[in-house]
């Protein structure tokens, strides 16, 4: 009778520690899987934003006969350029919704070059990736409008 009363009082320290250890291991496995998906989602978001900015640049070109210069940069999509060559048919509302150039998924600025190194007849548009530096591999690799490769995580 005494044994039965002692067992019904609760769990032993060893049982509680085993459960905590199992929960910790499961959390580690799930966390690793989630973080790799977050990296893939950021790369996908960057590609979608690049496509959106490309479309805005094409509209700019249709209205003004040329892409903004490298010096004018992507700011020419939200503010009429003040340096030559001026945009003579600039839309008063600009070319991007929200009145600003979006930041990349890692909170960096998109890079722009016209004419481009990779796209010599138009422009290069890219993000420097997670590390914010040129080059890199995996999540640190650059994502640009010249490559269709998805960086591996």
* pLDDT given for residue 5 in this prediction: 56
Q: pTM of this prediction?
A: 0.73
Instruction: Classify 112 as helix, strand or coil.
Output: strand
Q: What does the pLDDT look like over 72-83, one tens digit per residue?
A: 999 999 999 999
* pLDDT given for residue 127 in this prediction: 93
Question: Which DSSP letter does residue 17 get?
Answer: H
d(CA 143, CA 87): 29
Residue 9 φ/ψ region, left for φ over 0, alpha for ψ in the -120 to 50 degree band, beta for the rest: alpha
What mean pLDDT do residues 87-92 have? 90
Going along the chain from its start, the domains and CATH numbers come out as: 45-146 (3.30.700.10)
């Amino acid at each position: 009778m005494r044994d039965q009363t002692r067992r019904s009082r609760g769990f032993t320290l060893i049982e509680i520690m085993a459960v905590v250890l199992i929960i910790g291991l499961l959390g580690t496995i799930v966390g690793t899987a989630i973080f790799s998906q977050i990296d893939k989602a950021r790369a996908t978001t960057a590609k979608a934003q690049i496509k959106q900015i490309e479309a805005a640049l094409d509209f700019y070109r249709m209205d003004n006969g040329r892409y903004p210069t490298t010096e004018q940069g992507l700011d020419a999509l939200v503010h009429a350029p003040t340096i030559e060559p001026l945009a003579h048919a600039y839309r008063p509302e600009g070319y991007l919704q929200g009145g600003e150039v979006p930041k990349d998924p890692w909170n960096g600025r998109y890079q722009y070059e016209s004419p481009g190194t990779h796209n010599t007849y138009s422009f290069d548009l890219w993000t420097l990736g997670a590390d914010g530096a040129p080059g890199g591999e995996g999540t640190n690799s650059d994502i640009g409008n010249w490559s269709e490769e998805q960086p591996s995580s």
